[in-house]
Structure 1
Amino acid sequence: MRILLLDLDSLSPDHMGCYGYHRNTTPNIDKIAGNGVRFDNYYTSDAPCSPSRAALMSGRFGIHNGIVGHGGTAGDMRQEGASRSFQDKLAHESLPALLRSSGLKTVLFSPFGERHSQWTFYAGFSEMHNTGNRGMESAEEVTPDVLKWIEHNASEDNWFLYVNYWDPHTPYRAPEGFGNPFADEPLPSWLTEEVLERHKRKVGPHSARDINMYNNLTHPSYPRHPGEILDMDGLRTMIDGYDCGIRYMDEHIGRLFAELERQQVMDDLVVIITANHGENMGQLGIYGEHGTADQGTCHIPMIVSWPGVTRSHVDSGLHYHLDLLPTLADLLKKPVCDSWDGQSYAAALTDGQDCGREYLVVSQCAHVCQRSVRFGDWIYMRTYHDGYHLFPEEMLYHLKDDPYEQKDVADAHLAVRKDAVYYLNQWHDEQMKSMPYDTDPLWTVMKEGGPFHAKGHLKAYAVRLEQSERGDAVEELRRRHPGEFTI
């Protein structure tokens, strides 16, 4: 058996051809999707980067494994303590450890462990290649080494190759020589001048006026990445920059597929294509960031092509990315670990069965502190720390009518909100009962001063708001976050 897993950082399904995007951003990925199963409602349980990959690799929600943020106590995986054996559980229960126990050589190409000092990410891998630029890699820095590995190893049996590309992650940096294949193509139709004018009044990191998180600074090395969006030309720079990053990455993925074809292994190769999180490109008025527990950030692609197992179809059930571990265990006839929070969807791959969940709870504690409930056509968002976006405590979006989260309808649907709160409380009770700890790491983040990316910036940001004609928001920010103004 040979398995290739492509982890494509910050890749949003909304900007992929196989998910209906009007631009041809992912032709090589689309070919795989056409022969496999495409999951339309697949979500990371914990966003952004570090919490997401910790959940995927451990098979456990952030509330269980402890990693829900990018710093402080919640930036590290929980220690097992007195119950720890000679080896910790990850040595046997992580995603690569499962595959290794099935006789596969497990190989990683990624800088992720170093980027976030998440050394537990490496648990279970036999061979690790740090691509060396801490997540600032462009595809041309990754592909040659992966091609070299494929050339020397692809013909061997029983391997799992995990390849991490970063090109859709900010700052958008496709080489100048790549050009812009989308220069003459329209922007997404929902991004109108009226929408942009509304977004320009928004406050918060990565809003239209503050693409560089808390200011509008740019860097000459990244001409595709603007500092702010003032007009439709600026909006085009932003969207084209992201889409070019995706297309550039896809072309490099095509090179991997071509070499695998040359090695005559594509016909029986299992291909899994996914992401750690999506990218807000106007959702909630946020651009070029993955800093909320919303549809833009937490909705991710999942494509599985498994010769002899899958048949081409689209699955619309609700799934977490951490459901992959028990699914692989099922398909490989391995026992499912009690510590995993995932639920197998093997039947969706083998028989096209609907085995999705009734609802999902997704979390974000690195930029804001939020938990959201995805159910039916709805996403309900509960905010504990607004990350300076001035979000209300409760938000509700009807994704069928409003897929880009532009109209909060919480006030009009009290009954739906009550259902969502019931689901959220039910989930939280189940998680707290099923672990030996008495602390929810979301509240650890709150007690340690709030989300990592929303610490120590507010005084300077208030000046920026005054200078950019949004000073009316400063009083409310001061009311909500008085301590930040005294730092």
Structure 2
Amino acid sequence: MLKTIQALLVVTVLVFTSCAEKKAPEQVVKKQNQPNIILFVADDHGTDALGCYGNEVIKTPNLDQLAAEGTIFKNAYCTSASCAASRSVILSGKFGHATGSYGHVHDYHHFSTFDNVKSLPVLLEQDGYETARIGKYHVAPETVYHFNTVLEADPRNTVEMADKCGDVLNSDKPFFLYFCTDDPHRGHPFEPDPWNAPNSFGNKVEGYDGVETVVYDPKDVLVPSFIPDTKESREEIAQYYQSISRIDQGFGKLMKMLQETGKADNTIVMYISDNGMAFPGAKTTVSEPGIKLPCIIKDPTNSKKVSTNNAMISWVDLTPTILDMAKVSYNEKDFHGKSFKSIVSEENPKGWNEIYASHTFHEITMYYPMRVVRSNNYKLIWNIAWRLDYPFASDLWASSTWQSIYRNNIEYYGPKKVKDYMFRPEFELYDLDKDPNELNNLAEEKSFEEVLETMKSKMKTFQQNTRDPWQIMWSHDSSMQGTGVNL
């Protein structure tokens, strides 16, 4: 009897071993079919300064080439026009108000994501991806936003950054490369001397190794409609352009290296920015120049292609989209965003006509929570702390662009009165089709009462669905607060 049982056990082991050996090749094939993914994130780059988005002055040939080979999204939005808050959303698929990522991570700001959040790089690593990051990180804690490989290079020199990525591009495993520049963020020192000198935007007179310095004449730059057309503005925009041309060269270098690996046909490349240009009226606001951003996607694994996509997408959609593209299974309920993989190759997909934004802090001294819903052509902004002065980021306050208006007591900053920039109403309602500069607030007009109530209802539902603590400000319902007692 004992010999019979032993024989059966041997046969069982052999059967399972045989099955495992037969399935192994299928598992290998599955991994080989997973695409590589590069997510290239610029710092404070708006749609105003890219050739493929209509700027005929700035030189961005490599990014323009990506657009020619891929798809430009015309209505792509971050959820918060602040670096750290935006990046937490990019890598988590959740709004910052629900993850504790209310503002900046570094120094005394110290906002940090809850430790139970499962981030994009962690989920990709669990499915067999090599995950690597280089450049600006600006999220915390590392245990939540963990990458297998951390590469070091000057984040202002994208050519140098690209050079350091060779081993990742040649990885035996499918890879996810998170490539984040410091450009075109304003450079230190933020406070110029004299006050009317332009910020450097990271540019140096001696330039950077391996990078051709591209200089712009201030008289040639295109001044966005929300910025005053002054000598100071033009000089700063010229520096901003120069920083972006440096990004473009590093991007071109990275694409050349990718091509040389032979993996370009199985690598999805995305170019985005964390928020809009670092000028008052864009960065740290929820105005269109602050949150409506470049998004270019080239997916060679998709045989269908359109040059332009008009869907409204959000950075909260990026994590589920990338997981979907990587063929990694996930629970849709784990994210606030949704995958747009299936509509990348459609020009006007149905059902993609609404986005939400949520900003609370930039620096810790800049408490000014705002919530936004954009639905079709209408946009509602709720300035929750509207009785406070609108706060300034330290670098934007010190900018010569702002100081040229402030020091001279000029009434207007661009098309908007300075007092209207500094003091906001509780609700702002705009028809973006008729009023793209967001100057005519319809919230107080009787003929738009129904639209206002509809948009408020959408906002409340959004806040409830994403467990926004600031929903308490509608009714002072304290159910979100808990007991304050550790049980």
Q: What residue number does 1:181 align with?
A: 215
Unmatched segments (≥5 aa) in structure 1: 80-87, 132-136, 197-230, 444-487
Instruction: Single out whichever of 385-394 and 59-68 deviates more from structure 2.
Output: 385-394
Deviation at 1:160, TM superposition (A): 1.0
Q: What residue number does 2:233 align with?
A: 235
Q: Is the 8 A contact 2:94 2:336 kept in 1?
A: yes
Alignment of 1:181-220 (within 5 A): 181-183=215-217, 186-188=220-222, 191=225, 196=228
Alignment of 1:392-403 (within 5 A): 392-403=425-436
Q: What residue number does 1:316 align with?
A: 310
RMSD: 3.2
From 334, 356, 360, the counterpart of 1:361: 356
Q: Is the 8 A contact 2:99 2:113 kept in 1?
A: yes
Q: What residue number does 2:451 align with?
A: 419
Deviation at 1:106, TM superposition (A): 0.7
2 CA distance for matches of 1:359 and 1:77? 26
Q: Is the 8 A contact 1:378 1:397 kept in 2?
A: yes
Alignment of 1:378-417 (within 5 A): 378-385=378-385, 386-388=389-391, 389-405=422-438, 407-410=439-442, 413-416=445-448
2 CA distance for matches of 1:70 and 1:422? 33
From 69, 75, 78, the counterpart of 2:114: 78
Deviation at 1:251, TM superposition (A): 1.3
2 CA distance for matches of 1:279 and 1:356? 29
Q: Is the 8 A contact 1:279 1:290 kept in 2?
A: yes
Larger Rg: 2
* Partner secondary structure for residue 334 of structure 2: coil
1 CA distance for matches of 2:443 and 2:469? 32
Q: What residue number does 2:340 align with?
A: 345
Return closer, same or farther for 1:121/1:432 CA change in 2, 3 Å cut-off: farther
Q: What residue number does 1:303 align with?
A: 296
Q: Which residue identity is paired with 1:399?
A: L
* Partner secondary structure for residue 248 of structure 1: helix
Return closer, same or farther for 1:344/1:190 CA change in 2, 3 Å cut-off: closer
Unmatched segments (≥5 aa) in structure 2: 1-34, 188-200, 208-212, 392-421, 474-487
Return closer, same or farther for 1:29/1:420 CA change in 2, 3 Å cut-off: farther
Tell me the number of residue pairs that the alignment of Structure 1 and Structure 2 aligns: 380
Q: What residue number does 1:472 align with?
A: none
Deviation at 1:350, TM superposition (A): 4.7
* Partner secondary structure for residue 338 of structure 1: helix
Alignment of 1:438-453 (within 5 A): 439-440=469-470
* Partner secondary structure for residue 84 of structure 2: helix
Deviation at 1:155, TM superposition (A): 5.9
Deviation at 1:338, TM superposition (A): 1.6
Alignment of 1:40-55 (within 5 A): 40-55=74-89
Q: Is the 8 A contact 2:373 2:455 kept in 1?
A: yes
Return closer, same or farther for 1:99/1:411 CA change in 2, 3 Å cut-off: closer
From 105, 124, 143, the counterpart of 2:130: 105
Return closer, same or farther for 1:176/1:383 CA change in 2, 3 Å cut-off: same
Return closer, same or farther for 1:427/1:264 CA change in 2, 3 Å cut-off: same
2 CA distance for matches of 1:191 and 1:158? 43
2 CA distance for matches of 1:73 and 1:255? 35
Q: Which residue identity is paired with 2:315?
A: H
Q: What residue number does 1:248 align with?
A: 246
Deviation at 1:330, TM superposition (A): 3.1
Q: What residue number does 1:483 align with?
A: none
Q: Which residue identity is paired with 2:469?
A: T
TM-score (norm: length of structure 2)? 0.69
* Partner secondary structure for residue 409 of structure 1: coil
Return closer, same or farther for 1:26/1:73 CA change in 2, 3 Å cut-off: closer
Q: Is the 8 A contact 1:122 1:128 kept in 2?
A: no
* Partner secondary structure for residue 294 of structure 2: strand
Return closer, same or farther for 1:73/1:27 CA change in 2, 3 Å cut-off: closer
2 CA distance for matches of 1:153 and 1:346? 23
Q: What residue number does 2:160 align with?
A: 144
Q: Which residue identity is paired with 2:319?
A: L
1 CA distance for matches of 2:466 and 2:233? 46
TM-score (norm: length of structure 1)? 0.69
Q: Is the 8 A contact 1:9 1:167 kept in 2?
A: yes
Return closer, same or farther for 1:154/1:356 CA change in 2, 3 Å cut-off: farther
1 CA distance for matches of 2:147 and 2:350? 30
1 CA distance for matches of 2:126 and 2:448? 45
Q: What residue number does 2:397 align with?
A: none
Instruction: Single out whichever of 142-151 and 253-262 deviates more from structure 2.
Output: 142-151
Q: Is the 8 A contact 2:66 2:298 kept in 1?
A: yes
Return closer, same or farther for 1:146/1:242 CA change in 2, 3 Å cut-off: same
1 CA distance for matches of 2:237 and 2:80? 25
Deviation at 1:39, TM superposition (A): 1.0
* Partner secondary structure for residue 322 of structure 2: helix
2 CA distance for matches of 1:32 and 1:121? 33
Deviation at 1:100, TM superposition (A): 2.2
Q: Is the 8 A contact 2:113 2:144 kept in 1?
A: no
Q: Which residue identity is paired with 1:298?
A: I
Q: Is the 8 A contact 2:370 2:382 kept in 1?
A: yes
* Partner secondary structure for residue 428 of structure 2: strand
Deviation at 1:176, TM superposition (A): 2.0
Deviation at 1:124, TM superposition (A): 4.3
Deviations 1:60-111 (A, max 9, x none): 11232122223789922235xxxxxxxx341xxx211232233211111134
Q: Which residue identity is paired with 1:65?
A: T
Deviation at 1:246, TM superposition (A): 0.9
Q: Which residue identity is paired with 1:395?
A: E
